[in-house]
Structure 1
Amino acid sequence: MRYCIVGCGFSGAILARHLATNGHKVLLLDERDHLAGNCHTERDKSTGIMVHKFGPHIFHTADRRAWDYVQQFGTFRPYVNRVKAISEGRVYTLPVNLLTINQFFGKTLGPRDARQFISDKADRSIVEPRNFEEQALAMIGPELYKAFFYGYTRKQWGFEPTELPAAILKRLPVRFNYDDNYFNHPYQGMPENGYTSIIENIISVPGIEVRLGMPFEDVKETFAHVFYTGPIDRYFNFRLGRLGYRTLDFERFEDEGDYQGTAVMNYCDEKVPYTRISEHKHFAPWEQDKFSRTVYFREYSRLAEPKDVPYYPIRLVNEKRKLHEYIELAREQTGVSFLGRLGTYRYLDMDVTITEALNACDQIDKLLGSGQKIPAFFVDPA
């Protein structure tokens, strides 16, 4: 059978490989002129440094299956994401940990005393946080919230923190030791040759035809089934209106040597228009001594316009209402399934995308084997 897969990111590549290795023909297409979607990496023409073209991507997971899968297609070097932050003219380490607390408050607290100190700062009257701000006040109190989260969050999301769900902050840890590893996951690393090479290796099997620079709307062929990883509202030509996204703009700079001494520096103060600076030679510490020059990017967040690359689904009340309408519309279709970050309108880390794609492959095998219909969704996108 011949299938069409829209989108050459992890979701599309994994599905394409699975179907092709099971004897099917696959047309894998993307309207952009490169593989790997927003994970795309390439060598900077001027400096030779491996650059994450759409912002930093650090692979981290607790899912052994996802970790084992990606390692089949490239060497992953050890990499720990250690984020620094500037607030009111001083540099701190994130996520909030014992060093951050002691630096910020001018203390020398141990873990037990620091826990009690922050507990005394926290607003204990907030039992069920209703929004981002209440979650922050209940976790860390007003001083740390204002210093590290209030201005940064307004820049990143374009909303008051009182308008954002509490769940956004729940993903960020607060530690009462000196562990500054941004992620808690046991498996963390960076692909030695970049993410695009991983995607290239995943789809390097017979039976896959790749067409880049081709929008799905331009395809006139028919297929046994379409797997769509593009924006779900676009598939329906925005019939019910557009879903909201945040997008990113990047301002590129070059310099001699080492600009900031770390991969990522957050700028928490609202008066600074950009959210962070990423210096990409630090994402590949095993090779940074090769380069005499450096390249870094200031990152600006704003509401996505129709021609922009969509990054972060907003998923506030109006968007959720519209999403539910699109979900119902999708379930009325036959011959198409939606998956991935854009297809399900969810914020997904790379490892979750990979896990869901692998699970979708499992479901497809069972359904095809029993002659059942392939569903519109493999997970609940609501």
Structure 2
Amino acid sequence: MQFLLVGAGLSGAVIGRKLAEAGHRCRIIDARDHIGGNCHTRRDEETGVMMHVYGPHIFHTDDEEVWSYVNGFTEFLPFQNRVKTTARGAVYSLPINLLTINQFFGTTMRPDEARDFIADQADTSITDPQSFEEQALRFVGRDLYEAFFKGYTEKQWGCSPTELPASILKRLPVRFNYDDNYFFHRFQGMPRDGYTPMIEAILDHPGITVELNTPYRPEMREAADHVFWSGPLDGFFDYQLGRLGYRTLDFERFTYEGDYQGCAVMNYGDRDVPWTRITEHKHFSPWEDHEDSVCYREYSREAGPDDIPYYPIRLVREKALLEDYIALAETTEGVTFVGRLGTYRYLDMDVTIREALDTAATFLGCLAEGKPVRAFIKSPR
């Protein structure tokens, strides 16, 4: 069969590879001039530093099959993300841990003492947190919330934390030890040569052709037996029901002679600092040695029609519109919607790869059994 895959990021590459290995032909197109989507990496010409062009992507997973899969196409080296934050004129460790608590409150508490202390700080009058703010107040109390979460969240999401669902904060842990590893997954690392060579290796199959600088056109469907769409869900339908909401990111690049901040990621929690964080890219490849440095100041704002969408907003209006697009997609034959944009969900890289592997397997199973293929192998709901 002949398949058209729209988007040469992780979803398109992994699905295309699996289908090609099963003997099918895959045409993968992308409107950009490079593969890899938002995890595209390249060498900075001025400094030689490996750049995460669209912001940092750190691979972490508990999925052993996914970890084995990516290591089959490149060499991953150990990397743990140790985030710092500048707030109220001091630098602290994130996630909030025992060092953060002791430094912030000027104490020397042991784990059990800190646990009891934070429990006293928490607003226990909030029994069923509905908003981000209520969850934070119930979780860590007002002092830590206002220092580390409130301003950063207002900048990141462009709205008050009272308007965001409590579920956003449930992903952020508080640790009563000195562990400052931002993630808790078993497998964590970075590809030695960047993500783009890894994706090149996935795409390196005689059954796959890749066409860059090639926007999708509806008539392309005529030459394909099936389409896998990893672009924006609403974009496939030319936004006929309206546009789903996204946040986008702007990056202000600057270079520095030496080491600018001593870590890969420095958050800025104060509301009067316009950027959310500064990333120093050479620290994402600690096995390399570079005298000079290249950094990004990162700004978040609402995505316009010509912007790259990063984070789905998924508030009340967007969820209602999403339901309408799901209904429209489910009546559209010959298309399967995949990935972060195609299913309008925030996905880490390991989940994106897992869902791509499952999508290909499910699709091939449906072909073998003569069953129809659903518009969504993984529901956007």
Tell me, in whole angstroms, the C-alpha distance in 2 between the residues paired with 1:153 and 1:278.
Answer: 18
Is structure 2 residue 159 aligned with structure 1 residue 162? no
Specify whether residues 273 and 341 from structure 1 end up closer, same or farther in structure 2 by C-alpha distance, changes over 3 A only: same
Question: Displacement of 1:362 after TM fit?
Answer: 1.6
Q: Which residue of 2 aligns with 1:111?
A: 111
Q: Which residue of 2 aligns with 1:35?
A: 35
Question: Displacement of 1:198 after TM fit?
Answer: 0.8
The residue correspondences of 1:191-340 to structure 2 (distance < 5 A) are: 191-217=191-217, 220=220, 221-287=222-288, 289=289, 291-340=290-339
Give aligned pairs, total.
380
Tell me, in whole angstroms, the C-alpha distance in 2 between the residues paired with 1:261 and 1:177.
Answer: 23
Tell me, in whole angstroms, the C-alpha distance in 2 between the residues paired with 1:323 and 1:366.
Answer: 28
Q: Which residue of 2 aligns with 1:9?
A: 9
Aligned partner letter, 1:334: E
Task: Provide runs of 4+ in structure 1 moved above 3 Å.
Answer: 218-221
Q: Which residue of 1 aligns with 2:76?
A: 76
Tell me, in whole angstroms, the C-alpha distance in 2 between the residues paired with 1:124 and 1:292.
Answer: 51
- Residue 216 of structure 1 aligns to a residue in which SS? coil
Q: Which residue of 2 aligns with 1:125?
A: 125
Question: Displacement of 1:219 after TM fit?
Answer: 5.4
The one-character-per-residue Cα deviations of 1:67-91 (angstroms, maximum 9, x if unpaired) are 1111101000000000000001100
Q: Which residue of 1 aligns with 2:181?
A: 181
The one-character-per-residue Cα deviations of 1:310-357 (angstroms, maximum 9, x if unpaired) are 000000000000000000000001000101000000000101101111
TM-score, with structure 1 as normaliser? 0.98
Question: Where in structure 1 are there 5+ consecutive unaligned residues?
Answer: none
Question: Where in structure 2 are there 5+ consecutive unaligned residues?
Answer: none
- Residue 341 of structure 1 aligns to a residue in which SS? helix
Question: Displacement of 1:361 after TM fit?
Answer: 1.5
Aligned partner letter, 1:119: A
Aligned partner letter, 1:162: T
Tell me, in whole angstroms, the C-alpha distance in 2 between the residues paired with 1:26 and 1:165.
Answer: 40
The one-character-per-residue Cα deviations of 1:200-219 (angstroms, maximum 9, x if unpaired) are 00010111110001111275
Tell me, in whole angstroms, the C-alpha distance in 2 between the residues paired with 1:64 and 1:311.
Answer: 27
Tell me, in whole angstroms, the C-alpha distance in 2 between the residues paired with 1:316 and 1:267.
Answer: 25
Tell me, in whole angstroms, the C-alpha distance in 1 between the residues paired with 2:37 and 2:91.
Answer: 33
Aligned partner letter, 1:279: E
Tell me, in whole angstroms, the C-alpha distance in 2 between the residues paired with 1:310 and 1:8.
Answer: 16
Tell me, in whole angstroms, the C-alpha distance in 1 between the residues paired with 2:184 and 2:4.
Answer: 37
Tell me, in whole angstroms, the C-alpha distance in 2 between the residues paired with 1:213 and 1:171.
Answer: 37
Aligned partner letter, 2:150: Y
Aligned partner letter, 1:51: M
Tell me, in whole angstroms, the C-alpha distance in 1 between the residues paired with 2:207 and 2:361.
Answer: 19
Is structure 2 residue 334 aligned with structure 1 residue 349? no
Q: Which residue of 2 aligns with 1:56?
A: 56
Aligned partner letter, 2:242: G
Tell me, in whole angstroms, the C-alpha distance in 2 between the residues paired with 1:293 and 1:42.
Answer: 16
Tell me, in whole angstroms, the C-alpha distance in 2 between the residues paired with 1:268 and 1:206.
Answer: 49
- Residue 270 of structure 2 aligns to a residue in which SS? coil
Tell me, in whole angstroms, the C-alpha distance in 2 between the residues paired with 1:235 and 1:164.
Answer: 28
Aligned partner letter, 1:341: R
- Residue 302 of structure 1 aligns to a residue in which SS? strand
Tell me, in whole angstroms, the C-alpha distance in 2 between the residues paired with 1:117 and 1:326.
Answer: 47
Aligned partner letter, 2:228: F
RMSD over equivalenced CA pairs, Å: 0.8
Tell me, in whole angstroms, the C-alpha distance in 1 between the residues paired with 2:287 and 2:119.
Answer: 41
TM-score, with structure 2 as normaliser? 0.99
Is the deviation greater in 54-63 or in 209-218?
209-218
Tell me, in whole angstroms, the C-alpha distance in 2 between the residues paired with 1:218 and 1:166.
Answer: 39
Aligned partner letter, 1:375: R
Question: Displacement of 1:222 after TM fit?
Answer: 2.0
Question: Displacement of 1:24 after TM fit?
Answer: 0.6
Tell me, in whole angstroms, the C-alpha distance in 1 between the residues paired with 2:293 and 2:54.
Answer: 17
Aligned partner letter, 1:250: F
Specify whether residues 248 and 106 from structure 1 end up closer, same or farther in structure 2 by C-alpha distance, changes over 3 A only: same
Specify whether residues 286 and 50 from structure 1 end up closer, same or farther in structure 2 by C-alpha distance, changes over 3 A only: same
- Residue 33 of structure 2 aligns to a residue in which SS? coil
What's the % identity of the aligned pairs? Answer: 60
- Residue 174 of structure 1 aligns to a residue in which SS? coil
Tell me, in whole angstroms, the C-alpha distance in 2 between the residues paired with 1:225 and 1:346.
Answer: 23
